[in-house]
Every structure is written in structure tokens, then in C-alpha cells.
Amino acid sequence: MGRIVHLVSLLFVCLMLGCETPVSDLHSTNLRCEYLHNPLAIEQKTPRLSWEVKANGRRKSQSAYQILVASSTELLAQNIGDLWNSGKVISDETVNINYRGTKLNSRASCYWKVKVWDQNDVASAWSDNAKWSMGLLHENDWTAQWIGYDEALRDSLKYGTQPWANGVERKKEYRPLPCPYLRKEFDLEKEVSSAKVYITSLGIYEMYLNGVRVGEDYFTPGWTDYNKRIYYNTYDIGNLLKQGANTIAVILADGWYAGSVSNKGQHYYGENLRLKAQIEIQLESGDTIEVISDGSWRAAYGGIREADMQMGEVFDARLEPDGWQLNGFDDGNWSEVVSSDTITAQLQSYPGVPVQQTSEIKPIEVFETRSGVYVVDLGQNFAGWAKIRINETRGDSIVLRYAEKLNPDSSLYRRNLRGARATDIFIANGREEEVWEPRFTYHGFQYIEISGCSQPVTIESIRGVVLHSNLEQTGSFSSSNLLINKIYENIFWSQRSNYFEVPTDCPQRDERAGWLGDAQLFMRTASYNMDIAPFYTKWLVDVSDAQFEGGTISSVAPYVRVAYAAGWGDAAIICPWQLYHTYADTQVIARHYETMKLWMKFTESKSENDLSTLMSFGDWQNVKSETPTKVVATAYYRRSTALMAEMAQLLGRNDDAIEYKNLSENIKRSFTENLVSDSGHVEGRTQTGYLLALAFDLVPDSMRPTLVEHLVDDIISRDTSLSTGILGTHLLLPTLAENGHLDLAYKLLLKTDFPSWGHHIENGATTIWERWDGYSAEKGFVDDDINSFNHYAYGSIGEWFYSTIAGIQSDGPGYKQIIIHPKPGGGITHAEATYKSIRGYIASSWTITGGEFQLNVSIPANTTAKIYMPTSEPNDIREGEQLISQVKDCRVSLWDSKTTLIEVGSGDYSFQAKITE
């Protein structure tokens, strides 16, 4: 009793004096659910929650957390987690924590927040609120019907109908059709409290409510194998609806579904465009109302006469029905819609990152090439389209043709576009000023030729609109070397241009496909530059969907029929592993484990004596230096089995782990015995052969120095040049640097003669090119068929800028332990990189002045780091103003004869030391 009295009086005194419970300055931010901020339609039964912890000062960590999930903001404000209260969980985990509360139904709103405890067990304040909502989890949640308008298609159909691609011979010639416009007017008797739309289509759609475009996304609902899976998008539309009359209007276009895709022409997946839309409205009165796509909608064609992803868009402004998206429009002479009930593909909530407009580019130059024909130079190659402002007579056609390069006579170089027409046409209505941009096509370009204008085209009348999957930028890099900075910038632009709904090979020619090989080898670079977690979560489903029963995987995903290949199919194993490594994501491994096993089984069935006989596209785009297919295939066989052993272990599949480990060792043995000579020459004697053998650990340690020697000799014998294609280039700089040839790695990076990144830049590159010899001032264009000027594959060296020049790496999965190990060279005096990891912000910045190495680093709370300084004198290192021995936050030890290791916790540090030469 006395004790209680004491506590109460203490509380009273506290209240009177205003003292509070101590609150840790450690706090949680950046709350995400399934990698997304406040997602509107989650389908995972136990969604994964992540946050970052932040704190000032050093050695800050999380010792425990508590998650509250409530069904309303009111409950959450009272700290009541009616859906889930995790209680205080003793754990330093902040990433991918599964929700473990009550079962969540379709549409459930889940408001959540986190409290964390620091290293001294002092609690933080609660985080800001975050939210996720559940999607439509059951088929019967959908009442909307699939509707469309086929009149133009019916007229043009001279051959088979759905089911698609079942042996019906498709005509190859391009036969464009106008886009269906669909509309419906409806009344709401009461004020709207909240509303959502769940919407999808076969083909792509654009939706308007009362004349306002819904959302900022383009090319929705994205690209999948539409026979298997169709995603729906969810938008909050409460503020677009009002009491009284409302109008929903939708345009459908061919997209990937019915338009030109890869080099397969139109109608690869199907031809009947369809819409399914379900608006669910909560009225202030408490009533719920649904407005759905059904037979009551009206349809017609409008101004968009054709729209094709590769060919372009034709818009006749004279044919655009005025006000068709608004209430009161007379659709009396519009037609009835048709509906389909035979679509059986799985409907799921879109898990990826939609394409959006991210910036506009102002031209650097506009010039007239022939009378009335203007060429606009945007100064940057990119993916997107043009936005043009015109003042023309009714019926005049403005033609916009796109190209990446110019011919010597300043005309557009378009032969590399192959079958992609890449042309947009705008036919004027005659209004005083018309601003137009396409919506359902995109182009890869730097130049636009504009003809048909009666007045001169000016810099002010045109803009380049940049579009891509709007992934959050996570990385930055710069150095004292302008060439390296430009290579970095070009890599970034090629990622932007090719992370376009799926990781594509190129944005300009009639291909633009999700090539697996390119995707796997660029992925690590990509993951430094941007947050690729949701983008790859989506794409890996496309990869699994591109697998056949026997385990083969089409080399392109979403599925387009292309042969399987070693190094390409292996993306099914390498990419989930990379996601695990970057984001500590084990669920992705579990989800795709069977796909991986099947691919391995297939590869095994195609192996003899543990050497893979799989076909491969080889070291694509090498410099006359073909690596034998069995070297490539067996190297990837080894790489994949080694990763499988690690992933099986992670999932607790111990038998599998042992099996893959043994297989992997047998492959190594067989590779050495059969494909490496006694003198250490890898069959084919190519740089890529040596690189694969070294990087994927295919020879015993004792042989490594000889292989390194052969690799280096080959490079030197070519006037210090690479001869690698996309598979070898990816491994070139890291393998040289890790095997004692850092200087040579820098030399190759800094070269400006053929073949090199610098050579591209000297010839005007603003992106990464597909071929080393794509174009040069002396030789012009060497090839028209395979000559993309925006292909990210050679850009896979970007990872080395972050991991080696600036030195930021993850030591194990998900940046819980961080390595900062910069390796200066090439005469560079300064480099800096930042990286927003899954656990927070990391920075490394170094400068060399007069033999002194200055290294500034930032390490996020709740992580530790090993920092490497290029000195053999640990005791001489200074941190800030002090000798390091006096700094209690740093543990120092000699690492090797020239390097000191400093172990630290979170915080900002500034080290300085004399470099040991």
C-alpha cells in the first residue's frame, strides 16, 4: 500500500513539475507494407511490414519493437491495435515482418504504427501512422463484367478469333484500329464519404471521372502473360465524385495485349479489348453503392484513330467528341457495349511500380532540314514521347517521327528501329492553340522530326516527356573524374528508359522485351540506383509464368515465345537471390522455389558428365571473341547450383541444400577437368571464359593465379582492351580488382578508344549502347538490325562504382552489416556515393590530398559497419579531431599489409590517414 501511495505521489510531483517518461531519440520512419507506401490493395494474407530506424549520435540500435494495427485511425490514436498488437517483441529486425493479427478480409483498412526501444531499452515515441488496405481477395468480390466495343475489329477481322495464339495463323501486316471510348453516367443521391475504383483491362486503359484523369499511371494495368494473370489497379477516388450526376469514362488501347509486342506483331495475346471496372462508394449516409462495368455502358470511337506501343499514335482532333467524359453528354447515337464471360485468367492486385511521367526535357536545338521539316534535338536519349503546342488549320496533319541518331545529312537515322514505325500524327481541330501528347505508345529517342506545321517549330513549342516505371531513386555517385561521372549518368538514363513496366532490353526497336539475361546481369547495378524491390517482385512472377512444364523458361518475360538459354533462364535463380541479398527477402525465394528447382532439373537433364549442354545466346555482343557455349552454360550451371544450395539452406530444405552443394562441386570438378587445360587456358581462350571461371569459382584455388594471368595477358595483347560481351563485361572490373589488378580495371574503365564506354561517350552517347561498335565518327553505323543506342547491359559496371570506387557493400543480406571499402585508383582524387538501403541511408565519400586519405561515412541506426582505410598504421588514423585510439566508438585492427579495418556502429564518421603506398 505504502508503495502505491509513493508511486501516485511521484506521478503527481511529475505532473506538477512537467517531467516526462524518457523518450528515446531512436525513432521509426518510412513505414512500408510489401515494399509500398500506403498500398490500396494488398492480397497477401500476412503482409510484410518494414520501417527504418533513425537516431542522432553513434551506436544506436533497436532492441525491441511493437506494432499496432487498427481498423480505424481513432482506435490507433488511442493505441488500440484491434487487428494486431504485437506487444513488445525483443528483436532488432525492421524489415519484412509478417503481420500476425486477426484474419483480414477483402477491402479491410489497416492503420498501423510502430514503437521501438533503443539499445538501453528506452522506448521511442510512436511513429507516424501508415496504412494499407486489402484488395479483392475472392472471385465473388467482383460484380463488374468484362465489357468492350468490337465494331471496328469485327470489320477488320479476316482470320481467327480467341482463344488466342492457338495455332491460328496471324497476319503480320500492321492493321491499326481506333481506340474504343466507353462511358456511363450515374447519380449519387447523397454526399460521398469515400470511394475506390478497382479497374483492369485487356489492353491498356485511361480512366476519367467527371473529366478528371484518374491517377498518374500510364500503360495500366501493365504487362503480364494475359492468358494466366491480369492485374487490377486500385485508386482512391472519393474526391472526384460528388452528390448528383457523375460520369465515368474510359479509353481502351491495344497495349501489349493486342498491339505490337516484341517482334511478334499485333494480337500476340489477344485482340478483343476489354474493361472491368468496379467503383465502390461509401456515402455519408452510411450506404454503400457500386457502379460497375456492365451492359448499361455506351461506346463509340473518338479522336484516337490508332495507338500502338511500337508504331505510334494517330489522333484526329476533329473526331474527338466534345465533353464525352462529362455529365450531360448526349451518347444517344453511341452503341451498346459487348460483354465477355470467357476470360478465366487470375485477377490480382498490381504489385509493381507503374509507369509515370517523371520529367520534361526542353530541346537544346531545333533546326530546319528541308523546307517545313524540322528536327528537334533533346540532347538526351530516353523513353517517352513528345508534347507539342500548335496553332494549325483544321485538318492539317502534324507528323512526328522519332529517332535516336541522325545521319550525316541531319536526316533521322531510323533503320535500327526495324519494324517499329515510331511515328505519331496529330490532325488539328483548328482551335487557336492545341497542346497534344500521345498516351498509349512510347518511343526511344533523342531526335524528333516534325513536318506539316505551317509555322516554324521553336524550342518553346515542344517538350520531350520522360516516362518509365517510377521507382524511387536510392543511389547517387560522383567523382573527380568527368568520364566516370558521364558513364554513371548514362547508366542511369538507360535504366530509366528500360525499367518500363518490366526490365526491357531497349525502348526503340520492335523488341522492347523482358530479356532475362540482360535483367539478371544488370540487377545489382539497378538495385543501387533505385528501389527495385516491388518492380522485381512483380517481374519474377512474369518469369515463373514463362516457365513450361518440363522446366524450360522462355528467355523473355512476360512470356513471349523465345527459346530457353543458359545465362538467361538462370535469371529465375539469380534474381530472387539478388532480392534476398539486397532486401533480406526470403519470401521471394520461397515463392519461386519450385520454379527454380524445375529449371535446375531441366538443366541437369541437359547435362553430360556434369557439363551443361544447354543452348545459349553466348556472350552476346562480344568483340569477335566467342566463348564456347558449353563454357557459358556450365559456368551458369555452377553459379545457379551454388546459389540454390544457399537458398535451400535458408528455407530449411537441408536435403536439397546438400544435393545442390554436391552437384555444384561436381560441376566445378568437371569444368576444370574438361574445359581448362593443364596450362590454365579455359576452352575458347576468351576473356569471358576466364572471367566466368574466376567469378563463379570453377577452378581450384591453386589454378586461379594462372587464369588471372591469361586474362590479363589477353587484355594487354589487345592494346589493353576488353573483348567481352554482356556476360563477360558484367564480371570484368570486379574480377580484375578482386584478383590483384585494380589498376587494369581502372584503365579499362577510363579508356576512350574502341571498345570502351568512353569511346561511346566520345561519339555522343547519353545512354549505354548495345554494341561496342554501334557508331563512330570514322565508321558510321556498323549494323542496322541489332544496334540499339539505349541498352543497359554494358552498364552492369555501375555496381562497381558503388561497391568498389566508393566502396559501399552489404556484408550478408539486407545491409544489416555494411562494408565500406573504397578502392581508389585511376588517378581519381575524389569519389562519393550515397545509398538508401532497406535499413536507411549509407554514404561514403573520400578525397585524396597530398598522400592523405580522408573518408567520411554515414552508417544507419541499427546496423554495424566494417570500414577499410588504406593505411598500415592503425594508430595514426584520426577520426574527426582525435586520434582513433581515443575514440570509443571505433574498434581498429590491421587488416592486411596496407589496410586497416575499423569496426563501428551507426553514426557519421570522418577518418583521415596517410596512405600506405
Active site residues: 511, 770
> CB atoms < 10 A from the CB of 301, how many?
18
The minimum distance between CB 507 and ligand BGC, in angstroms, equals: 11
Nearer to ligand BGC, 517 or 774 (CB): 517
Encoded amino acid at 82, one letter: D
The pattern of x and - marking residues 814 through 853 that bind ligand BGC according to CB under 6 A reads ----------------------------------------
User: Which of residues 47 and 725 has its CB atom nearest to ligand BGC in the complex?
Assistant: 725
The region, left, alpha or beta by phi > 0 then psi within -120 to 50, assigned to residue 562 is beta
Least Cβ distance, residue 621 to ligand BGC (angstroms): 8
Please report how close the Cβ of residue 691 comes to ligand BGC at its closest, in angstroms: 18
94: buried, middle or exposed (CB in 10 Å: 19+, 13-18, 0-12)? buried
727/749 with CB nearer ligand BGC: 727
# of chain residues touching ligand BGC (CB under 6 A) = 10
Residue nearest ligand BGC, Cβ-based: 617
Q: Minimum CB separation from ligand BGC for residue 224, in Å?
A: 21
Nearer to ligand BGC, 354 or 569 (CB): 569
Shortest distance (Å) from residue 788 CB to ligand BGC: 6
CA torsion through residues 299, 302, 306, 308, sign: negative
Residue 701 identity (one-letter amino acid): D
Residue 515 or 599 with smaller CB distance to ligand BGC:
515
Residue 897 burial class via C-beta count within 10 angstroms: exposed 0-12, middle 13-18, buried 19 and up: exposed
* Angle at CA of residue 879, ends 876 and 880, nearest 5°: 130
- Contacts of ligand BGC in 497-526 (CB under 6 A): 505-506, 511, 515, 517-518
- Report the nearest approach of ligand BGC to the CB of residue 612 (Å): 17
- Output the nine-digit C-alpha cell for 789: 543506342
**Residue 426 neighbours by CB under 8 Å, 6+ apart:** 315, 317, 388, 390, 397, 398, 400, 434, 436
**Binding-site string for ligand BGC from residue 334 to residue 373, where x marks contact by CB under 6 A and - marks none:** ----------------------------------------
Measured distance CA(104)–CA(82) in Å, rounded: 12
| Grid cell digits, residue 268 | 500476340
Cβ partners under 8 Å of residue 762, min gap 6: 752
Which residue's CB is nearer to ligand BGC, number 544 or number 788? 788
CB of 617 to ligand BGC, least distance (A): 3
- For residue 913, give the nearest of 905, 903, 902 by alpha carbon: 902
Kind plus residue range of the DSSP H or E element containing 799: helix 798-800
Site string for ligand BGC, 777-816 (x = CB under 6 A): --------------x-x-----------------------
CA distances from residue 877 to 350, 483, 800, 897 in whole angstroms, order as listed: 51, 31, 26, 15
Residues linked to residue 188 through DSSP beta bridges, in sequence order: 244
- DSSP readout, 689-757? HHHHHHHTT-S-GGGHHHHHHHHHHHHHHTTS-----HHHHHHHHHHHHHTT-HHHHHHHHH--SSSSH
- Interface residue with ligand BGC among 198, 617, 792, 909 (CB under 6 A) is 617
Per-residue DSSP letter, 456? -
- Asked if residue 313 binds ligand BGC (CB under 6 A), the reply is no
Q: What is the distance between the alpha carbons of residues 183 and 195, in angstroms, rounded to a whole number?
A: 18
Q: Smaller CB distance to ligand BGC: residue 626 or 903? A: 626
Q: How far is the CB of 23 from ligand BGC (least distance, A)?
A: 54
Shortest Cβ 308–ligand BGC spacing (Å): 20
620 sits near ligand BGC (criterion: CB under 6 A): yes
> Are residues 135 and 33 in contact, defined by beta-carbon separation less than 8 angstroms?
no
CB of 620 to ligand BGC, least distance (A): 4
Contact letters for ligand BGC, residues 660-699 (x by CB under 6 A): ----------------------------------------
Given the complex with ligand BGC, which of 418 and 669 has the nearer CB atom? 418
- Report, in Å, the least distance between residue 503 CB and ligand BGC: 11
Cα separations in angstroms, 611 against 516, 600, 627, 728: 22, 13, 15, 19
Is residue 254 within the footprint of ligand BGC (CB under 6 A)?
Answer: no
Q: Which three cell numbers stand for residue 250?
A: 474510359
- Distance, CA of 417 to CA of 93 (rounded, Å): 49
The CA-atom distances, in angstroms, between 773 and each of 135, 242, 486, 531, 760 are: 49, 59, 19, 32, 8
Whichever of 468 and 791 has its CB closer to ligand BGC, that residue is 791
Crossing angle (nearest 10°) for helices 587-605 and 629-650: 140
Closest CB to ligand BGC among residues 617, 846: 617
**Which residues are within 8 A (CB) of 9 and not within 5 positions of it... i.e. 6 or more apart?**
none
Q: Indicate the burial class of 157 (C-beta count within 10 angstroms; 0-12, 13-18, 19 or more).
A: middle
Nearer to ligand BGC, 732 or 793 (CB): 793
Distance CA(595)–CA(642), nearest Å, equals 16
Grid coordinates belonging to 810: 552489404
The answer to whether 570 touches 640, Cβ cutoff 8 Å, is yes
Minimum distance, C-beta of residue 626 to ligand BGC, in the bound complex (Å): 13
> Contact residues for ligand BGC (CB under 6 A)?
505-506, 511, 515, 517-518, 617, 620, 791, 793
